[in-house]
Amino acid sequence: MRNIDYAETLVFNEIMEISCQLETSLRSLKIGDLIKMLRKQIGIPQSILSRRSGVPQSTISMIENNKLTSLSVITKLLKSLHCNLTIVPTLQEPIEQIRKKQANKIAKKHLKYLKGTMSLEDQKPDDKLFKLMLQEEEKNLLRGSGKKLWEEEL
């Protein structure tokens, strides 16, 4: 049985909602664009940022033009601009949809094998029965711990 802490789920869902809103707000801006905007808003020239951060001005220029993305250099620049770097994943689709797709994939794999052996014995199930079996197998996988849902793909 899936054992997920309710408080953890609430926090996770809140973070995912905020990260999706942030991703929308960024309007395809990259980290270099944001650093450049931040530097200009603060009013610090690249040359002074270079001295403060210990990062060569040419490297700052490359980062601001999105031609270089070094996490350690970006962190140095942001620290010099009095900022922290927060990395948060954003879901490409809802968690339940991810799980359902995986359950469907594994259930089809299980039933394909079963269908094959049944065909050998002239017991091939009709499409309606196959769909019911598929739905039941998906439910069983989704109710489980998750191990069966992901392990068989390896």
148 has pLDDT over 90: no
Compute the distance between CA of residue 62 and CA of residue 19 in angstroms, rounded to an integer: 27
18 has pLDDT over 80: yes
Does residue 87 lie within any of the structural domains? Answer: no
Structurally, the chain folds into a number of domains equal to 2
Say whether both 110 and 141 belong to one domain: yes
Say whether both 118 and 145 belong to one domain: yes
Q: Is the dihedral of CA 38, 42, 46, 48 positive or negative?
A: negative
Instruction: Give the N- to C-terminal CA distance of the chain in Å, as an integer.
Output: 21
Say whether both 74 and 105 belong to one domain: no
Compute the distance between CA of residue 138 and CA of residue 119 in angstroms, rounded to an integer: 22
Q: Token pair 């489980």 is at which residue?
A: 144
Say whether both 13 and 59 belong to one domain: yes
**Residues of the chain above pLDDT 90, percent:** 63
1 has pLDDT over 50: no
5: Cα separation from own chain's centroid: 20
> What pLDDT is stored for residue 54 in this prediction?
97
Q: What angle do CA 44, 47, 49 make, to 5 degrees?
A: 50
> What pLDDT is stored for residue 153 in this prediction?
60
3-state secondary structure of 32: helix
Compute the distance between CA of residue 95 and CA of residue 43 in angstroms, rounded to an integer: 42
What would the pLDDT profile of 65-119 be if each residue is shown by its tens digit?
Answer: 999 889 999 999 999 999 999 998 989 999 999 999 999 999 998 888 777 666 6
Say whether both 46 and 20 belong to one domain: yes
| pLDDT band of 154, cuts 50, 70, 90 | low
> What pLDDT is stored for residue 69 in this prediction?
86
Q: Kindly give the interhelix angle for 57-64 and 31-42, rounded to the nearest 10 degrees.
A: 120
Q: Token pair 């031609």 is at which residue?
A: 67
Say whether both 72 and 129 belong to one domain: no
Compute the distance between CA of residue 89 and CA of residue 97 in angstroms, rounded to an integer: 17
